[in-house]
Amino acid sequence: MEIIIQPDERAGYQFAARIVAALVRDRPDAVLGLVTGRTAVPLYQEVIRIHRDQRLTFASVRTFNLDEYVGLPHGHPASYHAFMKTHLFEAIDIKPTNTHIPNGMADDIARECREYEQQIRDCGGIDLQILGIGADGHIGFNEPSSSLGSRTRIKTLTDGTRRDNAHAFEQFEDVPRHAITMGVGTIMDARSCLVLAFGMGKADPVAKAVEGPVTAMVPASVLQFHPDVKVILDPDSAALLARKDYYAKVFREKPSWQQY
């Protein structure tokens, strides 16, 4: 894992957006794995800014979102379909047919999950998976105790996760109890991963994911087995890392050919 501690959140989002932009510039038909949640919003704002200011085109980019609530109509403002339209898709030149989000309204959820996996394979796999991290260490909606080899499937959300996401709903009771999520194994198949976590609220799951033992009780910890993961942090989210001085030194002392 490459732990990159930026001076503040804003610098972290800019750094992450530059990584996304560099990939799309290099590979115009890149397959991006996309994330939702509060952390995603400033990242997408920065990506949109680069699209406008530097004429970065997404016309051939394909995308797969990590997850979606089950039983929430796509037009519902808290659905991830609506989130992606509002915060990214409508502001860039991506083709709607190139974007994929699990269909939580499908009659046959198991079949929807199988087909989602197939669509990812048909696109040649995900080049860069963007990830946030839940307070309990979840990635996508893979709650603690998720199989580390799991594929796209339905998951029951913990009440903690439902509370953390309740801000997007009128009341807690409205937060769906189930979601379709890429599995931990699906995420691990991505060729590279970019994890974003900012603020004190993320310090505990970040420390467990980066320095704790690999365990299904902290699904993000499995990323320790992935050969190409960048974790972008600010001083607050890095606060509980025992080796943070070392990570800063690694970043400072990178050989010139490895620098960003």
Active site amino acids = 67, 136, 138, 143
Radius of gyration of the chain (CA): 17
Q: Which is nearer to ligand GLP, 46 or 67 (CB)?
A: 67
| Min separation Cβ 179 and ligand GLP, Å | 7
Residue that the structure tokens 């037009």 belong to: 75
DSSP label of 136:
T
| Min separation Cβ 232 and ligand GLP, Å | 13
Piece in contact with ligand GLP (CB under 6 A), picked from 32-40, 57-65, 97-105, 112-120: 32-40
Is the Cα torsion angle 20, 21, 27, 32 positive or negative in sign? positive
Residue 130: helix, strand or coil by DSSP? strand
Alpha carbon distance 186, 152 (integer Å): 7
Alpha carbon distance 89, 85 (integer Å): 5
Site for ligand GLP, residues 47 to 76, rule: CB under 6 A: 66-67
Backbone φ, ψ for residue 229 (5° rounding): -125, 130
Site for ligand GLP, residues 124 to 143, rule: CB under 6 A: 132-134, 140-141
Give the amino acid at 175.
V
Q: Which is nearer to ligand GLP, 47 or 56 (CB)?
A: 47
Q: Which single residue brings its beta carbon nearest to ligand GLP?
A: 132
* Choice from 10, 27, 38, 243 touching ligand GLP (CB under 6 A): 38
- Residues lying near ligand GLP in the complex (CB under 6 A): 35-39, 66-67, 132-134, 140-141, 161, 165
